[in-house]
Structure 1
Amino acid sequence: MEAMIHGILLAFGLILPLGVQNVFIFTQGATQPNIFKALPATITAALCDTLLILLAVFGLSAIVLQFEWLRTGLMVVGILFLLYMGYSIWKSKASTVKTGQSMTVKKQILFAMSVSLLNPHAILDTIGVIGTSALRYVNTEQLLFTVACITVSWCWFLGLTVVGATLKKMDGSGAIMNAFNKCSAVFIWCTALLLLTDLF
């Protein structure tokens, strides 16, 4: 029981802060015609988080990150993608949801994978915090700890999607979501700038 509670609290602590991944999932819930059409992004983000948690617990990703050139390459790709994503969100219009021009399933999946797997901070947090914390448990306790972390991730992303879809229903004119898109784009560009300063 201790391992499960520890996993729940730890996962919530890592996932609660506003990040690019959270912003993207929330935006999909708010801009897709209905909540079901936002699920590709939600499920992809949750699956990516599941993969990162499993890698962190079993230590495979820690080996990969020993290579400095890989870390640098990951950050460069992440910065370029965030700049592009910020531009795409800035240019998008909430009103396009009504005309069926919201993000396609393929684009949702690619963006969700990118904000999950090309985010150096998320990877380092997962490995450094979850991976390290998992070392204190073995066998069944380690399994319970891992399952708790993964469950929190899935519940959180589904919740963000529902909240986004609910906000859309309250925003008939699309003005709130247009403003949110602008704020999201600025936040994403700031994240890219932060990564750039870390790189140098």
Structure 2
Amino acid sequence: MPFLHGLLLSIGLILPLGAQNVFIFSQGALQPKFRTALPAVIAAAVCDTLLILLAILGVSVLIISVPVLKTILIIAGVLFLAYIGWVTWRSGGGVPSSSEASQYSPRKQVMLAVSVSLLNPHAIMDTIGVIGTSSLHYSGLSKGMFALACIFVSWLWFFSLATAGRLLGRLDSGGLMRAMNKISALLIWASAIMMLASNAGDIR
């Protein structure tokens, strides 16, 4: 029962289209080989695993409750999302050029994946409010099974997203990917604006 609960809960949380999902999908489509998109996939999955564990252990509640840390998190998150949107907007479709490939080096992939995963107060609050609160119903082995299910869904989802992006990238001649990049950039910028607007009172 705890494992099934964790599965269903995590699927519901991870499905909505957000900056993190958009970035992982676009890397799967943009990179010339699936393995070259793995830095972004693994970094996002590791960050989600960290957030899940912190939420279940209750540590993240302390972090988000400190006003200075929350303000820094919000400002950094908005800046990183604005930058990711700019890079996504400028990227082309189809087979990536050498300049596009250099924009998404393994180090850059990891940095951007970490930013869209950890520098997002909304994602952290969702993790705390839903996964953290739900885990209070369990203890011992049951809590471990609940955490394992949440982590399993996260890793499976990011690998599936990158695979789907890879398949679309191979089938598309370039036009559809260019359009998706523009839409993705707009969604990422919208996320940044919404984050800034909803947290304006915390950074005054």
The TM-score, its normalising length taken from structure 1, stands at: 0.96
Contact 1:33 1:100 in 2 (8 A): no
- Where in structure 2 are the equivalents of 1:171-186 lying within 5 Å? 171=172, 173-186=173-186
Instruction: List per-residue Cα deviations over 1:85-128 (Å, max 9, x = no partner).
Output: 11111111124515474211110000000000101111111111
Question: Is 2:176 the partner of 1:192?
Answer: no
Question: Is 2:14 the partner of 1:23?
Answer: no
Alignment correspondent of 1:35: 34
Q: Structure 2 unaligned runs (5+)?
A: none
Deviating beyond 4 angstroms after TM superposition, the runs of 4 or more aligned structure 1 residues are none
Instruction: List per-residue Cα deviations over 1:136-157 (Å, max 9, x = no partner).
Output: 0000000000000000000000
Aligned residue for 2:96, secondary structure, equals: helix
- Where in structure 2 are the equivalents of 1:66-105 lying within 5 Å? 66-95=65-94, 97=96, 99=98, 101-102=100-101, 103-105=104-106
Amino acid at match of 1:164: G
Between the aligned partners of 1:189 and 1:100, the Cα distance in structure 2 is 23
Amino acid at match of 1:146: A
Aligned residue for 1:82, secondary structure, equals: helix
Contact 2:91 2:100 in 1 (8 A): no
Alignment correspondent of 1:58: 57
The TM-score, its normalising length taken from structure 2, stands at: 0.94
Aligned residue for 1:136, secondary structure, equals: coil
Question: Is 2:140 the partner of 1:139?
Answer: yes
Q: Structure 1 unaligned runs (5+)?
A: none
Amino acid at match of 1:187: L
Amino acid at match of 2:35: F
Between the aligned partners of 1:97 and 1:178, the Cα distance in structure 2 is 11
Structure 1 residue 65 displacement after superposition: 1.4
Contact 2:85 2:188 in 1 (8 A): yes
Aligned residue for 1:76, secondary structure, equals: helix
Contact 1:75 1:199 in 2 (8 A): yes
Amino acid at match of 2:10: A
How well do the aligned residues superpose, as a CA RMSD in angstroms? Answer: 1.2
Mean alpha-carbon deviation: is it higher for 104-113 or for 64-73?
64-73
Contact 2:88 2:181 in 1 (8 A): yes
Aligned residue for 2:181, secondary structure, equals: helix
Structure 1 residue 81 displacement after superposition: 1.1
